[in-house]
Structure 1
Amino acid sequence: MAVATEVRPRPDAARPPGAPRKGVILGVLCVALFIAMLDNVVVSNALPTIDRDLGAGVSGLQWVMEAYSLVFAAFLLTGGTLGDRYGRRRVFLVGLSLFTAGSALCALSGSLGVLVGGRVVQGLGGALLMPGTMAIIRHVFTDDAERARAIGLWSGVSGAGLALGPVVGGPMVDAFGWASIFWINVPIGIAGVVLGAVFLPEFAERRGRLDVAGLVLGVIAIGALVYALVEGPARGWASVPVLAAASVSAVAFAVFAVVELRVATPMLDLTFFRDRFVAAAVWGGFAVSFGMFGALFFIGLLMQDIYGWSAAGSGYTGLPATIALMAAAPVAGRLSARYHPRVPLVAGLTLCAVALGGLSLYGVGASYAAYFWVLPVLGAGMGLAMSPVSITVMSRVAPARAGMASATSNTARELGGVFGIAVLGAVLTARLSDSLTDRLGAAGLPAADVRHTVDAVTAGGGGGVGHLGQAPPVVRHASETAFVDGLHLALWTGAAVLTLSAAVVAWLMRPERRAEQPVEPSGPVADTRPVAA
């Protein structure tokens, strides 16, 4: 049974800071968040160069990418809980210091093992600092409308970090080498630590016994699940490592739920989800990441392998989506403050579904001018959907639980992206395999050659289309067409999930009845009023 816990603000948290100081605080938090999100994806364009310099191989390159996201997702809940207990400023600064040190280690690495180790340190640092950014915003911006605008900017920066990764990474690697994408974090991180130590307030420490069992079980459950989802497409869903990881995750989640329902101060208070607004917001965050980041992963392959863009050029083609996202996120904050978070969240999910459906209209040979309109719709949908999730969660939880609540919504987003890549990748690969088999068979290729080509093209979830080399034109055309067939089915699947999610969120976030009150599992009574101007 959850019990109330003591909240002891520090002296400098007794009164909200003035407007200039608030601006500095928000700037420090957003810059730290930007580099943490950027490093989710910025490495992608550096992988060929890393392979040449370190001899990483395909499996090694996978771990350069996956080590960060695996640790980041696994420790997000831990970062939020530690911040709630020991101080959000303290844990934020520790996380930013670790992220900066990990970046330096990556830049200096002369071997694959050291590089992967640096990525692990980066991921741990990112997981510790990210929940604190939202929790500090929850404390500093006390007015509902002001907080909504701050969260809108926070969401825009978060999305921009992900969207700008390919745009920033390609040119930097070409001009300065792959180490530059890590070196750039070091001066930014050092400046962030210094400014954070001076300007960030410390507050809202929870007392009570630390939920060590919950911390350990949460890391195991989420880490094993992410591992299974990331490795499933490459190793095979029936492989021993993937099945073992999935089994460990299932058992750990079950035990975690039992523990969290019994301890006095749980790491994740499951009664949060009795509040239908919180449940809807968390699901909305999961759904937009499922549909969008899952689809974006394969859209990059479409741009380069089918439409012929270079790595840097592919990143530049996404700028309309990035600009629209950065413009829409603050608008979503204002809409949430003026009306209700349901309005921009449902609109964002719907626009994302429209964008995915729209992209499925174009096949091999489509021009950029033809499908250009999809990109700003895509970005606007993402920007509108991101802010309301955080605004809803932050407005309906006790301040003492802000870090845990932020970590919960961010973990859902992270898992949504991993699920999206795994599930949509499986849909794409299955359809690609069937279509290519039929097309090559109809072209008269021997059965052995058909099997060999299908295996080559479907390796790595469809990435093999770009590596057919000097294959005969009939094979190349059949492979490209089959890939587009598979991508279209994956896009329709993502659009269907987003459309259904928009309907579910609209229903769950319907106006409250007078007698309906938010669930506050622990801590002081939170500001439970609807976000209003």
Structure 2
Amino acid sequence: MELASAPVTRRRAWAAVAVVCAALFLLGLDFTVLNVAVPGLRAELGPTLAETQWIVDGYALALGGCVLAAGALGDRHGRRRAFAAGLALCALASVAGATGDGPARLVAARCAMGLGAALFMPATLSTIVHVLPGRADRRRAIGVWAAVAGVGALFGPVAGGWLVERYGWQAAFWLNVPVAAAILAAVPVLPESRDPDPRRLDHPGALLSCGGLLALVWGVIEAPGRGWTSAGVLAAFGAAALLLTGFTLWQLRCAAPMVPVRLLRGGPVWPATLCLALMSFAMFGAMFLLTLYLQQVRGLSAWAAGQRMVPLSLGLAAGAVLGPVVARRLGARVPVAGGLLLIVAGFAQLGRLTAGSGDAPVLLFEGVCGFGAGLLAPVATELVMSAVPAAMAGVGSALNDATRQVGSTLGVAVLGSVLATVAAGAPVAGAAAFTDGLAAASRVGAGVALLAAVLAWYRLPGRRPAQAPVPVPELDRASPPPSLLGR
């Protein structure tokens, strides 16, 4: 059951979908808009490479670490309320970032923006589940949701490049303020909903997961400068392993876990979430590498680099339209595994780029990777949401969101660190050293995507629809929505 409310007309339902997708577009924009501002930001404020990675990664780290707890808060206190609070926090933090005068303040602002996004992001999918109970409409809405999620991230370099070139790196922060204000003005369109029998908040789980992720990403980012075997880096990795192991054990024995562990034990949910995480790892890491390549090796301006990211958006939108159609005919494994193999092929192209490469190989890489990501994202997302009871839609949405955000955070951190480590050890500095690092990082990204493709092929359903999950005590409070992949 959901919070009792007046029936939602189909027109209002689609208006609500438009509002939450606009917020999701803003979230994707914030993920990548700062990438094209990095050269100007480094020239003016002088952050180290590690500090730069923290400025870029702080947003995704806070979002990925806190979104599960935020999803539970939305289920408990109202998803529309959480949505509005998150947008307001994101706008205020953007103002703080735009007026920042040092790396520390920018890192803090980006983390606060991530906390705001953690509050409103779970409400996007859970609102779609609430306002569109019909199978066909919900399938279309989730396809739109997946396309907007990627297009927002890919539009960031385009809009950011144009603004940064004219108004400086601060424009990457100021851009959020009018967009967030416009979405806040439309919040009354959203019907309020919440879980009528909410679980207790899992405070130990939230602390353990946030601490473990923070230690892990810190170690990955600092390793190239400090050394992979330095005491500080090894201590960070050890702390991450200890905290994340403790988080897993706590979730298994906690009466009201932050992550519904029993839901992940069977069926397609855990492989679908892992595929989403590995896809995000590969794609956001690749976008970070490509932005650095275009500006530092090719010497393009922020606006010119942003223009060359457009094929990623077009490919992703096309894939998001086709993916659910393929899944209904051939099962989920074909579009998910096929999309990941296309990402592998894209990384092979990325690793061959040199200082003398023209636009054609860059655009080919973007089109192939974008289409692959678009093909799999809505299908894997639907597999997760179709297994979660409607009353816990916020937790289900947060689970989907957390896997993607943690994956994207680690993708930027790991691939960026591989690039920095190999480039620093190259015998000749300059463009050749960068492209050596780019090739090494591309091999890592391709390996991750290939691993995910194998997982998808063997663990996701084929032509026959997935079986309904086995009811478990903490989940069986309402029937899960029917799978959108089956007929």
Q: Given the alignment of the two structures, is residue 484 of structure 1 paired with residue 435 of structure 2, yes or no?
A: yes
Once the two structures are superposed, the pairs formed by residues 188-203 of structure 1 within 5 Å of their partners are: 188-203=179-194
1:18 aligns with 2:9: yes
CA shift for structure 1 position 266: 1.3
Structure 1 residues 346 and 56, CA, compared in 2 at 3 Å: closer, same or farther? closer
**For residues 489 and 64 of structure 1, what CA distance do their matches in structure 2 show?**
24
Q: 1:343-358 alignment to 2 at 5 Å?
A: 343-358=334-349
- The equivalent residue for 1:307 is 298
Q: Is it true that 1:524 corresponds to 2:478 in the alignment?
A: yes
State the percentage of identical aligned residues.
34
* Partner amino acid, structure 1, of 2:28: M
Change (3 A) 1:529 1:34: closer
Residue correspondence of structure 1 range 184-333 to structure 2 within 5 A: 184-333=175-324
Q: 2: distance between equivalents of 1:194 and 1:219?
A: 32
1:243–1:353 CA distance, 2 compared to 1 (3 A)? same
Offset of residue 54 of structure 1: 4.8
One of 114, 135, 139 as aligned partner of 1:148: 139
Report deviation, 1:281.
0.7
Larger-gyration structure (1/2): 1
Q: Which residue of 2 aligns with 1:91?
A: 82
Task: State whether residues 217 and 255 of structure 1, in contact with CA within 8 Å, keep that contact through their aligned partners in structure 2.
Answer: yes
Deviations 1:237-261 (A, max 9, x none): 3334433332222222222222222
Residues 184-219 of structure 1, C-alpha deviations (whole Å, 9 max, x = no match):
322221222232134333233433432222222222
Kept after mapping to 2: 8 A contact 1:92/1:132: yes
- Sort the Cα spacing of 1:280 and 1:49 in 2 relative to 1 into closer, same or farther, 3 A: same
Q: Tell me which of 9, 26, 40 is aligned to 2:3.
A: 9
Q: Give the distance between the partners of 2:132 and 2:288, measured in 1 at CA.
A: 35
1:38 aligned onto 2:29: yes
Q: Which moved more, 1:414-423 or 1:334-343?
A: 334-343
- Paired positions, count: 484
1:281 counterpart letter in structure 2 = A
What pairs up with 1:416-435 in 2 under 5 angstroms?
416-429=407-420, 431-432=422-423
CA contact (8 A) 1:70 1:227 kept: no
The alpha-carbon distance between structure 1 residues 515 and 223, as it changes in their structure 2 partners (threshold 3 A), is closer
Aligned partner of 1:494 in structure 2 is 445
Cα drift, residue 508 of structure 1: 0.6
Partner of 1:474: none
Show the 5 A alignment for 1:434-513: 436-437=426-427, 457=429, 465=430, 480-511=431-462
Matched, 1:400 2:391: yes
Equivalent residue, structure 2, for 1:445? none
How far 1:175 moved relative to its partner?
1.9
SS at match of 1:11: coil
5+ residue gaps, structure 2, are: none
SS, match of residue 276 in structure 1: coil
Unaligned runs of 5+ in 1: 1-6, 441-456, 458-464, 466-479
**In structure 2, C-alpha distance between the alignment counterparts of 1:308 and 1:116, rounded to whole Å:** 26
Structure 2 Cα separation of the partners of residues 239 and 205 of structure 1:
50
After superposition, the Cα gap between the structure-2 partners of 1:381 and 1:58, relative to the gap in structure 1 and judged at 3 Å, is closer
Rounded to whole Å, the distance in 2 between the matches of 1:514 and 1:164 is: 35
| TM-score relative to the length of structure 1 | 0.83
Deviation at 1:78, TM superposition (A): 1.3
- Counterpart amino acid of 2:408? G
- Alignment partners' CA distance in 2, 1:103 and 1:514: 44
Offset at residue 159 of structure 1 (A)? 0.8
Distance 1:493-1:244 versus aligned 2 partners, 3 A rule:
closer
Aligned partners of 2:28 and 2:153 also within 8 Å: yes
Q: What is the distance in 2 between the residues matched to 1:73 and 1:263?
A: 21
Give the 3-state SS of the residue equivalent to 2:339 in structure 1.
Answer: helix
Which string of whole-angstrom CA distances, capped at 9 and with x for unpartnered residues, describes residues 164-185 of structure 1? 2222112102223333332232
Aligned residue type for 1:484 = T
SS of 1:366 mapped into structure 2:
coil
Contact 1:172–1:181 (CA<8 Å) still a contact in 2? Answer: yes
2:129 to 126, 135, 138: 138
8 Å Cα contact 1:145-1:334 kept in structure 2 = no
Judge which range, 117-126 or 362-371, deviates more.
Answer: 362-371
Structure 2: distance between partners of 1:25 and 1:84: 17
The CA distance in 1 between the partners of 2:150 and 2:374, in whole Å, is 7
Deviation at 1:55, TM superposition (A): 5.6
Q: Which range moved further: 196-205 or 372-381? A: 196-205
Letter of the structure 1 residue corresponding to residue 438 of structure 2: L
Aligned mates of 1:65, 1:301 — CA distance in 2: 13
**What letter corresponds to residue 376 of structure 2 in structure 1?**
A
Residue 122 of structure 1 pairs with residue 106 of structure 2: no
Superimposed CA distance per residue, residues 399-435 of structure 1 (whole angstroms, 9 cap, x where no aligned partner): 122222222222222222233334434554555566x
Distance 1:411 1:190, change over 3 A: same
Q: Which residue of 1 aligns with 2:366?
A: 375
Q: Contact between 1:221 and 1:248, CA under 8 Å: does it hold in 2?
A: yes
Paired residues of 1:93 and 1:197 also in contact (CA < 8 A): no
One-letter amino acid of the structure 2 residue matched with residue 46 of structure 1:
A
Distance, in Å, in 2 between the alignment partners of 1:197 and 1:67 is 30
Cα pair distance change 1:331/1:64, threshold 3 Å:
same
Over 3 Å counting, the alpha-carbon distance change for 1:55 and 1:358 in structure 2 is closer
Distance 1:213 1:292 in 2: 31
Note closer, same or farther for the CA distance 1:183–1:374 as it changes in structure 2 (3 Å cut): closer
**Aligned to 1:525, what secondary structure does the other structure show?**
coil
- Output the CA distance in 1 between the equivalents of 2:134 and 2:25: 24
Q: Distance in 2 between matches of 1:275 and 1:324?
A: 33
Q: Helix, strand or coil for the counterpart of 2:485?
A: coil
Cα shift readout 1:319-369 (whole Å, capped 9, x = no counterpart): 112222123223324444555333321221121112222334444422223
User: 2: distance between equivalents of 1:298 and 1:362?
Assistant: 11
Question: Structure 1 residues 515 and 194, CA, compared in 2 at 3 Å: closer, same or farther?
Answer: closer
CA contact (8 A) 2:55 2:107 kept: yes
Q: Is the 8 A contact 2:61 2:405 kept in 1?
A: no
Q: What SS does structure 1 have at the residue aligned with 2:212?
A: helix
Shift of 1:38: 1.2
2-structure distance, mates of 1:148, 1:529 = 9
Letter in 2 for 1:11: S
Within 1, Cα distance between the matches of 2:30 and 2:466? 45
Contact kept? 1:230, 1:418, Cα under 8 Å: no
Kept in 1: contact 2:53–2:221 (CA 8 A): no
1:178 paired residue among 157, 169, 176:
169
Structure 1 window deviating more from structure 2 (159-168 vs 410-419): it is 410-419
Judge conservation of contact 2:57–2:409 (CA < 8 Å) in 1: no
